Amino acid sequence: MTVISEIAPDVYRICTYVSAFDLQFCQFLVKDDQPLLWETGMRQLFPEVREAVAKIIDPATLRWISFSHFEPDECGSLNEWLELAPQAEAFCSAVGAMVFVNDGARRPARGVTKNDLIETGRYRFRLHHTPHVPHGWDAAMLFEEVNGTLLCSDLFHHGGNAEPLTESDVVGRSRHAMQGMQASPLADYMPWTPKTEARMNELAALAPRTCATMHGSTFRGDGARALRDLSTAMREVLGGP
């Protein structure tokens, strides 16, 4: 079942729980003059996500598509969306556009930096390049400046069929998920590098009021503190000796 929840003004969380992985896969639709979709979802989920988007806007009017990094749950159905919405333009990090996306996309993606402002009408977005946070040298996070919503990909990820929005501890949930993955083939999915803490601090400096994660509940509250606490948890669990 795909569930729709408004987690910030005009920001809709479209969430599908996949029991085989005990994991939620979320996309985020911004309803505005120029609608924006953050994370496309995998191709297998495209029919469900398209149907959910259609309950909020006409999918053919989608103007912007963005995502953190090149991975199936991030941009697996990008071409399906580009075909459905003829005016839609994808944007991602400049690295992502150059080394991954533009080799396979129906239309080239725009490579942007945090100096490039994307305005959808009432809302303003900047893409912050965060190499290897959560993973991939093309990684980036999207920040909506009007209401302080950080669309943060895999950060704060946790398993289970979680509630759409929470003001309780998500760092503890994420720590538990990271610890569980350490004994699996996915142990090194999120690296800790000498630059990780600085990049997490850059995100914390944005002082988000909402942190919208792809896998699990969206967090509302002191996003700066949550990001700093998550950075500590990542260092302790992933940093090694």
The whole-number pLDDT of residue 187 equals 83
* CA-based nearest residue to 149, from 12, 50, 42: 12
Rounded Cα distance between 46 and 51, Å, is 8
- Write down all domains in the chain, each with its CATH number in brackets: 2-238 (3.60.15.10)
Put simply, whether the predicted model's pTM sits higher than 0.95 gets the answer yes
Could you report the per-residue pLDDT of 168-227, keeping only the tens digit for each?
A: 999 999 999 999 998 888 888 899 999 999 999 999 999 999 999 999 999 999 999 999
Amino acid at 35: P
- Name the stretches of the chain with pLDDT < 50: none
Please answer whether residues 136 and 71 qualify as being in contact, where contact means their C-beta atoms are separated by less than 8 angstroms: yes
